[in-house]
A and B are shown apart, each in its own frame.
Chain A
């Protein structure tokens, strides 16, 4: 815990310094842009030298069916989180679907290793506490780039914390198992980003701006369940 705090503090300090060194105006809606940019470049460096090589190694060494099973287990854990947030948003249909998914995948799907609910036509609700806050009218607040974790917002930081309280994996009682699974989840997520990462490198003039816009639009769309406010 202390080490994590120390890392975060170091990252923030580093980002503050680089942030102040550049002379960019903050964009509207992103008052912390100079700091965020610093964290973004810290994250990119960290990713380049440590995180991505680990994910690549995992991707190359582990057979596909195993990787699929691993992803499914983590998806199942996040479906648990959806169930709670469906309820908090009074979304009956989604609640029934996500609840059914968790029950079916945890039993027939052997602890979530197999996703049998999706072929049955039961869609993932994909809800989290950040969306629940948005649903009840709380705005996203300033855009934030978190050390190691990437794009977020003031609202979604609160959401992430609350979701952690109900996350089946971070609440496992065996510390070594819990930590191993949490590390594996991070690697699993990173591997899933490979194709998109290549695309962003091709598409974006400035990755920071590109990610910020995409993140904020995506979160807004999730809060509205895909219904889109008419273009300005």
Chain B
């Protein structure tokens, strides 16, 4: 049951780190990117707490700022694991779209838990040639418990960094969904999974 606590902290942290500045700096380093996202969301929540009770506004904030900084297609591919190859290109597109919607909705819900939290950033050791790094943060909750949140980031074709997994207190979002997706696909096939995601998002 305790697991639920980490999950909520997790998602809250994800939201925090995911809102991106509109001002696109020249391909910021991955840790700088996470930091600017997180500090921006903290500021928004502080200055406009009413946004939390405005579902549309909240979703808009997340959709315009979060999505560009995540590689949803790669996330979906990882969550599908070996089943990705069994999906047709159309199914892959549908899966990515529905998974993205599900994540965005979940994050919107998580934001409400994010008031009064502060975030520490662990120093990032990386080489200039690295294309895959883990940015480590700790979200300090009001109760004194710190939740470690790690972002797996990759350098994509245009040189910018995008997150493809979030690991909250040791729980990987992608791994979690991989088990769920795998059990649906194994028992009922890819189309059933798409239908379940659509039903969830309706």
Q: Which residues of A contact B (CB under 8 A)?
A: 24-25, 27, 68, 71, 115, 118-119, 123-124, 149-151, 189-190, 192-193, 195-200, 202-206, 209-215, 217-218, 220-222, 224, 226, 228, 231
Q: Which 8 A-B pairs have the closest CB atoms?
A: A221-B170, A196-B4, A196-B8, A118-B144, A150-B1, A213-B179, A195-B8, A203-B106
B27-35, B39-47, B89-97, B180-188 - interface stretch: B180-188
- Contacts A199-B106, A221-B171 hold; do A213 and B176 have CB atoms under 8 A apart? yes
Residue in chain A with minimal CB distance to B176: A213
A95 to chain B, nearest CB (A): 19
Report the Cα distance A151→B4, complex, angstroms.
Answer: 11
Residue in chain B with minimal CB distance to A224: B170
Contact of A217 among B2, B9, B175 (CB under 8 A): B175
Residue in chain B with minimal CB distance to A225: B170
- Report chain A residues within 8 Å CB of B183: 27, 206, 209
What would be 21 A-B contacts, judged by CB atoms less than 8 Å apart?
Answer: A24-B187, A118-B144, A124-B144, A124-B145, A150-B1, A189-B2, A195-B112, A195-B113, A198-B8, A199-B113, A202-B106, A205-B180, A205-B197, A206-B184, A211-B3, A214-B7, A217-B172, A218-B169, A221-B171, A228-B150, A228-B167
Q: Which residues of B contact A (CB under 8 A)?
A: 1-9, 11, 102, 105-106, 109-110, 112-113, 143-146, 148, 150, 167, 169-172, 175-176, 179-181, 183-184, 186-187, 196-197, 200
B172 to chain A, nearest CB (A): 6
- Report chain A residues within 8 Å CB of B109: 198-199, 202
B139 to chain A, nearest CB (A): 13
Contact of A214 among B171, B186, B197 (CB under 8 A): B171
Would you call A193 and B4 a contact (CB within 8 A)?
yes
Report the Cα distance A199→B108, complex, angstroms.
Answer: 10
Report the Cα distance A231→B154, complex, angstroms.
Answer: 14
- Report chain A residues within 8 Å CB of B200: 205
- Report chain A residues within 8 Å CB of B175: 213, 217
Would you call A25 and B187 a contact (CB within 8 A)?
yes
Residue in chain B with minimal CB distance to A223: B170
Residue in chain B with minimal CB distance to A219: B170
